[in-house]
């Protein structure tokens, strides 16, 4: 009885946190957009809004939403390769919950842990669930890093057109490449995590070392199983990883295409799709380090600084306002509706 009550309280607390984060997101977003409009001349922004065909918001929303379908396909392909069957409703919930939780947690950090948690509740081993989610993250970092390195000359050309904001992007690129290298190293050899904790256990005095040693032993065994799971996917099922990698690249492309559509629709100018694609990847390297729910506020500020070098100033605030509405706030509303529709309750577990 008390256990059920504890679960109920935990669920309620979780809902409270989600509601609080949503309120914070809306407040920060509203304040930042007001500030941007103020500095850009509110009347000018309003006049520009009157001249824009707002139907492009639907196009941006649809293009951006292609990520849901692609990630749903990716989830099915990888799980089926391990002979795991997931109900369509659960697969939709797991896919959408990743984006929703990322959008409302600091540094977009909540999506992957929740996705792992949900997969384990569906009966998938924690090592396989972790492997699936971490593999996607590694693939995304590899793809973005590869684009930066392959088109380094174009990257330098783009950075050269940006004012002082280029230093923020350069720091972000260096930090992201360093983080990518570290994560890939840990991904290739997960037992490094055990060695780190084991080292800390030896140098720090603890009252009850035996308890921590038991936990470390469990961690070592779990990491060994994770390593085997990673090897199975990346070596024995390399064709699955290759296909998943390509699909992940399409997600990045569709997300950048949303920005391209917004720029061309509002300014009526022509832009290079490749240049916007690279610019989008560069800025994404930076925004994930902004410690607000869904990087709210930081995204608007960074895009405002960067886009000011690529379009007339009178269009900047309008572009950020409408693009962000289509790719973030409207997406959160859509994700919330889908999660409510696909919410399940089985064997005492409520998602």
Q: Report the percent of the chain where pLDDT is more than 90.
A: 34
Residue 53 has pLDDT above 80, yes or no: no
Residue 351 has pLDDT above 60, yes or no: no
Tokens of 175: 């930090």
HSE at residue 340, side-chain half, CA atoms within 13 A, is: 7
Per-residue pLDDT tens digits for 140-167: 988 988 998 899 999 888 888 887 778 8
Residue 308, in any domain of the structure: yes
Q: Do 148 and 173 contact (CB within 8 A), yes or no?
A: yes
- Which residues have CB under 8 Å from 350's CB, separation 6+? 11, 343, 344
Q: Do 304 and 316 contact (CB within 8 A), yes or no?
A: yes
Residue 39, in any domain of the structure: no
Residue 270, in any domain of the structure: yes
Residue 263, in any domain of the structure: yes
Outline where DSSP puts E strands in 87-152.
Answer: none
Residue 110 has pLDDT above 60, yes or no: yes
218/33: higher pLDDT = 218
Residue 58 has pLDDT above 90, yes or no: yes
DSSP per position, 24-56: HHHHHHHHHHHHHHHHH-HHHHHHHHHHS-TTH
Per-residue pLDDT tens digits for 155-213: 888 888 887 778 878 887 788 778 778 888 888 788 787 777 777 767 776 666 677 77
DSSP per position, 142-156: HHHHHHHHHTHHHHH
Residue 242 has pLDDT above 80, yes or no: yes
Residue 57, in any domain of the structure: yes
Q: Is 295 left (phi over 0), alpha (psi -120 to 50) or beta?
A: left
Residue 243 has pLDDT above 80, yes or no: yes
Give the number of other CB atoms < 10 A from CB of residue 116: 21
Position 346 confidence tier, pLDDT thresholds 50, 70, 90: very low
Per-residue pLDDT tens digits for 13-42: 466 767 776 677 667 666 666 666 555 556
Task: Name the residue among 2, 1, 10 with its Cα closest to residue 349.
Answer: 10
- Which pLDDT score is estimated for 233? 92
Residue 346, in any domain of the structure: no
Residue 290 has pLDDT above 80, yes or no: no
HSE at residue 341, side-chain half, CA atoms within 13 A, is: 11
- Which pLDDT score is estimated for 345? 53
CA distance 20 to 174: 33
Residue 350, in any domain of the structure: no
Quote the number of domains for the chain: 1
> Is the pTM of the predicted complex or chain greater than 0.75?
yes
269/198: higher pLDDT = 269
Residue 238 has pLDDT above 90, yes or no: yes
Task: Name the residue among 150, 103, 164 with its Cα closest to residue 281.
Answer: 150
Any bridge partners for residue 106, and if so which? 293
Per-residue pLDDT tens digits for 62-107: 999 999 999 999 999 999 999 998 999 999 999 999 999 888 887 7
- Which residues have CB under 8 Å from 314's CB, separation 6+? 40, 41, 44, 45, 48
The three-state secondary structure class of 96 is: helix
| Mean residue pLDDT across the chain | 81
- Which pLDDT score is estimated for 46? 67
Task: Name the residue among 110, 115, 38, 41 with its Cα closest to residue 74.
Answer: 115
Residue 345, in any domain of the structure: no
- Which pLDDT score is estimated for 147? 92
Domain extent at residue 323: 15-26+53-340
168/9: higher pLDDT = 168
CA distance 36 to 42: 9
Task: Name the residue among 33, 97, 38 with its Cα closest to residue 323.
Answer: 33
């Amino acid at each position: 009885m008390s256990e059920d009550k504890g679960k109920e309280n935990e669920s309620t607390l979780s809902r409270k946190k989600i509601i609080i984060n949503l309120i914070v997101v809306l407040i920060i977003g509203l304040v930042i957009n007001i500030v941007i409009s103020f500095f850009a001349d509110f009347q000018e922004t309003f006049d520009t809004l009157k001249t824009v065909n707002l139907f492009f918001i639907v196009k941006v929303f649809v293009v951006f939403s292609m990520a849901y379908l692609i990630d749903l396909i990716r989830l099915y392909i990888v799980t089926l390769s391990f002979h795991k069957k997931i109900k369509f409703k659960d697969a939709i919930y797991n896919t959408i919950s990743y984006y929703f939780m990322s959008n409302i947690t600091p540094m977009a950090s909540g999506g992957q842990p929740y996705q792992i948690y949900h997969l384990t509740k569906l009966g998938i081993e924690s090592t396989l669930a972790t492997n699936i989610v971490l593999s996607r993250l590694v693939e995304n970092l590899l793809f973005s890093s590869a684009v930066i390195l392959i088109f380094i000359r174009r990257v330098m050309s783009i950075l050269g057109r940006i004012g002082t904001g280029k230093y923020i992007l350069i720091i972000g690129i260096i930090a992201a490449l360093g983080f990518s290298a570290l994560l890939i190293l840990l991904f290739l050899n997960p037992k490094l995590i055990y060695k780190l904790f084991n080292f800390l256990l030896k140098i720090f005095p603890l009252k009850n070392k035996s308890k921590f040693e038991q936990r470390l032993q469990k961690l070592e065994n779990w990491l060994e199983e994770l390593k085997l799971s990673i090897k199975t996917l990346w070596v024995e099922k390399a064709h699955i990883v290759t296909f998943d990698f390509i699909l992940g690249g399409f997600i990045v492309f569709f997300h950048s295409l949303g920005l391209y559509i917004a720029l061309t629709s509002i300014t009526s100018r022509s832009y290079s799709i490749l240049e916007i694609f690279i610019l989008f990847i560069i800025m994404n390297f930076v925004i994930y380090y902004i410690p607000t729910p869904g990087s709210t506020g930081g995204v608007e500020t960074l895009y405002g600084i960067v886009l000011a070098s690529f379009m007339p100033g009178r269009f900047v605030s309008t572009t950020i306002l409408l693009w962000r509405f289509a790719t973030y706030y409207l997406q959160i509303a859509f994700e919330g509706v889908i999660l409510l529709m696909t919410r399940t309750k089985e064997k005492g577990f409520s998602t």
